[in-house]
Amino acid sequence: MTAPRRRINFGFDRFSGAYLWVLFIVVFGVWTPSLFLTSSTLHSVASQEAIAAMLGIAVLVPLVAGAYDLSVGSVINLSTIVVVVLQTSHHWGMWPAIFVAIGVSVVIGVVNGFLVVKLRVNSFIATLGMATVVTAIQEIVSGESQPLPPVSHAWNALTQTKVFGFQIVVLYLIILAFIVWWALEHTPVGRYLYAVGGNPEAARLSGVNVDKWTWVAMIASSTICGIAGVFYASLTGPSLTFGSSLLLPAFAAAFLGSTQLKPGRFNVWGSMLAIYVLATGVKGLQLVTGKQWLNDMFNGVALVGAVAFAVWRQRVAGSKPTAAPEPSEAEAQATGPGGAGSTREAVPASQHATAAGPDPAHVQSTAQ
């Protein structure tokens, strides 16, 4: 009797983005090495995509909780304008202006949460409407004119200081990504958010306060947008229109990232991988062709392809017969005739609800 042949698993289901990244580097490195394989290209891609990656994290947090936040582009734009106008037109100091800009973003997150949780407006509609309101507020704050950038060494050094050849905004991105990853993967907060996004009714029966954690997700999203807006203003300067152009790349990164590392589950490092894979491909094609419209096309195709792939994966997984697992003692207590169970019992039960994690197809269905 011959032993079964062991198959080599290259991890294409989880690391396809990494393989694609390597392919891009090899192809464009051979195609145009004098332009692509340079330290300036590496540093520019890393710093230019840092803000888009922060926005990707911002949209990821509500997606984990099963909600959309389409106001992120407007919120980051408003934060940029507020922090600049306070310094140039009202002569505020840098740090007070930064705190006010982030505070305004937090307030927007609170309002978004109120619309979704208390008024029961669909998150897609609520945040889309809020985006237009925030854009109008931005016009009022800016006086419908492009504000001048602050002239301050400390302001420029906030994001443009070099660390190992990279602008320090890249370090800020790594720190932010690590904090959000740790909160989602290693704290009860993350378990509750994944439970809410995976199955709200099961989470509610397990004792999880679904409304509370949905509200927290919306506030966290706007807060991250406020921080990213401040960094953008220091790195690039004020702009009245840049926010809307970052909305599609942010969602493309989140959905494409949900097919990486932990397929079917929104995750921080998958999103980071996705944003830089897309950026590398776009940069290489722009260096070869000189066409600037490739960015929008690349991100649009990536978003549609990622969602289609996630839906296909869910259907394939759903078509396979699986034995129903027996509930654990903690789950039986939490969902049995005795009611929702205590908060202490909710953590093990929510872990069961999030074993598969929320996938893009599920989140997509919540918006319809």
The 10s digit of each residue's pLDDT in 33-63 is 888 888 888 998 999 899 999 999 999 999 9
* pLDDT grade for 74, boundaries at 50, 70 and 90: very high
Q: How far apart are the first and last CA of the chain?
A: 55
* pLDDT grade for 337, boundaries at 50, 70 and 90: very low
Distance from C-alpha of 88 to C-alpha of 238, rounded to nearest angstrom: 11
* pLDDT grade for 14, boundaries at 50, 70 and 90: confident
Looking at the DSSP bridge assignments, the partners of residue 166 are: 163
Distance from C-alpha of 114 to C-alpha of 121, rounded to nearest angstrom: 9
- In terms of pLDDT, which residue wins out, 214 or 325? 214
Asked whether the beta carbons of 60 and 252 are under 8 A apart, the reply is no
Residue owning tokens 């330290």: 39
Q: Given this model, what pLDDT does residue 8 score?
A: 65
Kind of pairing between the strands at 162-163 and 166-167: antiparallel
The rounded mean pLDDT for the chain is: 83
- Name the CATH topology of 12-318+343-366: ABC transporter involved in vitamin B12 uptake, BtuC (1.10.3470)
pLDDT at position 278 over 60: yes
Q: What angle do CA 48, 51, 53 make, to 5 degrees?
A: 100
Query: What average pLDDT does range 203-217 have in this prediction?
Result: 94
Q: Residue ranges of the domains in the chain? A: 12-318+343-366
User: What number of other Cβ atoms are within 10 A of residue 227's Cβ?
Assistant: 20
Distance from C-alpha of 78 to C-alpha of 69, rounded to nearest angstrom: 15
pTM: 0.81
Look at residues 51, 79, 56, 80 and name the one whose alpha carbon lies nearest to residue 69.
56
Distance from C-alpha of 226 to C-alpha of 220, rounded to nearest angstrom: 10
Q: Given this model, what pLDDT does residue 308 score?
A: 77
Asked whether the beta carbons of 138 and 74 are under 8 A apart, the reply is yes
Residue 354, classed as helix, strand or coil, is coil
Asked whether the beta carbons of 56 and 271 are under 8 A apart, the reply is yes
Tokens of 144: 């419908």
Distance from C-alpha of 308 to C-alpha of 360, rounded to nearest angstrom: 9
Tokens of 2: 């011959």
Distance from C-alpha of 280 to C-alpha of 148, rounded to nearest angstrom: 32
Q: Given this model, what pLDDT does residue 229 score?
A: 95
Q: Given this model, what pLDDT does residue 63 score?
A: 95
Alpha helices in the chain (DSSP H): 12-31, 33-36, 39-48, 50-64, 72-88, 94-113, 123-142, 153-160, 168-186, 188-198, 200-205, 210-235, 242-257, 268-289, 294-319, 329-335, 343-353, 360-366
Distance from C-alpha of 223 to C-alpha of 32, rounded to nearest angstrom: 40
Residues 6+ apart with CB under 8 A from 244: 73, 74, 77
